[in-house]
Structure 1
């Protein structure tokens, strides 16, 4: 896959992915501050809203963490080519979604897509549900693909706090995914079905997802893995590097906005907050003190629970530990980016 070199115009789409609660919305919103991309929110989310919007993605999502590969890509390639070209399907949307809130959202999205086409902006897809299709996005759509990796104990703690868990039928019922990546985990996935042990199930989801990402990266070399903790501990410098590898301009104004958005005070443990662009959300990005949030991230689990998570995810952590991540694409201004080792303290 050839990407523009230094000094060349980059029109490639951007994908920001990683498991939900890994910081994808935060990173997507911080990249949107460049003014050089149109933010596209979770087109592969199996739930309406934000997913199941055929105006944005005119293809049927059957599973959470849908796997796309060359053998099943036909409907996806057509649909996503339109998405990343910012082509909105008004008729398809109206056939499916006609509530007042849907029409309002359609109007905003049509306006954003139209403005993006006129100004030749890039599509910036923020979608944690695309994580198992990361390689396909990079290889077939030419997307600069950023995968967020959050330390497993803090990630599981986040899911436990929200009362979330995963239904592994979504993985087991995808034969191409099982064949290509998850067959080695089949017994563990089947055993987890029906289990009431949410902590073990959530840790298993982290384990199989990032084992797959590690394999995809080794095979393709096209994924850019970023440790959430690195960005949260030093967001101004971390995003400076990420802007470079994404081919976006990191101006003084952008740096000021990122600094303001990542030092904001929020109520500890608050269930809802306003997002950067407005609207209430339990999980979407909101201005925050990223360092304070990082310090609190592991405190929800007791030491015994944290030790269980570490034991379950140890093999996948080791696979990531063996990879030192460098940008998969040339830097625009000749800046040497730090290598990203997701295991370093």
Structure 2
């Protein structure tokens, strides 16, 4: 059974995905629905054209998406399609990395793990039509907005409002029209957080998980996620997760995860408990209070 880890960008999906892959039973697939290249727009990984951030997939438009994702979750790599689309030596190296990982993973009977924040609004479809075990990360809104502010990110609501099926199925997104063109990045990020949380909370067949609770106590938290995903919890997985999260400052980081290779994500090794203390960094108390008010309820 395929695992999908999703949630808004900067909600801990890369960290969670890497920790779930620690047991060695999953092949990590990074953001196939990202409309930018890299990591998206790679036909060897996903043979479908992504046109929007937060691409909405439902039964009414799944004619192209379903066969493409069936190939992806079955770890069937499209070598020829990727060769035709190559644009640089980096692309060739990525082709070899992913193509090899898919082929060896399929031969070894491993499952795919999709780490994709851009699938967050389509999580129900992935659970229902692909049979994915979906883990949706939700981060505290103040920390989420603070992270976006530090990176200088903003929300382009046209990406959401320009998808008629998405607006049809989630009409509360129409409230975002008032912020189209706004320069208030705090209000826009808070509105995105609130709308997404509302959608996730009423989506059946998925597990909504607090990033903060997972980061505060990762070993029992990931043990529960392993059970939900149908993954064996092994001493090796526990050891790697403990080292990667490194709560004890005297604990060696050796043997944890490193940010390396061609599947680049936002994940870094970290002391996950300490990271919680820095979540609101860069925001004033007044800004934090405003975000609380904007996302209340």
Q: Does 1:91 align with 2:73?
A: no
Q: CA deviation at 1:88?
A: 0.7
Rounded to whole Å, the distance in 2 between the matches of 1:281 and 1:308 is 36
Rounded to whole Å, the distance in 1 between the matches of 2:71 and 2:105 is 13
1:204 corresponding residue in structure 2: 191
Structure 1 residue runs without a partner (length 5+): 1-11, 267-273, 316-345
Query: Among residues 95, 104, 111, which one is paired with 2:93 in the alignment?
Result: 104
- After superposition, residues 238-277 of structure 1 pair within 5 angstroms as 238-263=221-246, 276-277=258-259
Residues 207 and 313 in structure 1, CA contact (< 8 A), matched pair in contact too: yes
Secondary structure, counterpart of 1:158 in structure 2: helix
Secondary structure, counterpart of 1:22 in structure 2: coil
2:44 corresponding residue in structure 1: 55
1:120 corresponding residue in structure 2: 109
- After superposition, residues 68-79 of structure 1 pair within 5 angstroms as 68-79=57-68
1:54/1:68 Cα in 2 relative to 1: closer, same or farther (>3 Å)? same
Q: CA deviation at 1:95?
A: 2.1
Q: Does 1:303 align with 2:285?
A: yes
Secondary structure, counterpart of 1:33 in structure 2: helix
How far does the alpha carbon of each residue in 1:96-146 deviate from its partner, in whole angstroms, 9 at most, with x for none? 223100000000001100111111100000000000110000000000000
1:113/1:159 Cα in 2 relative to 1: closer, same or farther (>3 Å)? same
Residues 10 and 148 in structure 2, CA contact (< 8 A), matched pair in contact too: yes
Residues 244 and 257 in structure 2, CA contact (< 8 A), matched pair in contact too: no
2:253 corresponding residue in structure 1: none
Q: CA deviation at 1:280?
A: 9.2
How far does the alpha carbon of each residue in 1:10-54 deviate from its partner, in whole angstroms, 9 at most, with x for none? xx1000000000000000000111110100000000110000101
Query: Among residues 248, 255, 273, which one is paired with 1:291 in the alignment?
Result: 273
Secondary structure, counterpart of 1:257 in structure 2: helix
Residues 30 and 263 in structure 2, CA contact (< 8 A), matched pair in contact too: no
Rounded to whole Å, the distance in 2 between the matches of 1:287 and 1:280 is 17
Rounded to whole Å, the distance in 2 between the matches of 1:72 and 1:244 is 32
Q: CA RMSD in A?
A: 1.8
Residues 240 and 257 in structure 2, CA contact (< 8 A), matched pair in contact too: no
Q: CA deviation at 1:299?
A: 3.1
TM-score by length of 1: 0.81
Secondary structure, counterpart of 1:68 in structure 2: coil
Q: CA deviation at 1:281?
A: 9.8
Secondary structure, counterpart of 2:75 in structure 1: coil
2:3 corresponding residue in structure 1: 14
Structure 1 residue runs of 4 or more that deviate by more than 6 Å after TM superposition: none
Secondary structure, counterpart of 2:135 in structure 1: strand
Secondary structure, counterpart of 1:86 in structure 2: coil
Residues 42 and 51 in structure 1, CA contact (< 8 A), matched pair in contact too: yes
1:265/1:43 Cα in 2 relative to 1: closer, same or farther (>3 Å)? farther
2:252 corresponding residue in structure 1: none
Residues 44 and 130 in structure 1, CA contact (< 8 A), matched pair in contact too: yes
- After superposition, residues 42-191 of structure 1 pair within 5 angstroms as 42-181=31-170, 183-186=171-174, 188-191=175-178
Residues 16 and 126 in structure 1, CA contact (< 8 A), matched pair in contact too: yes
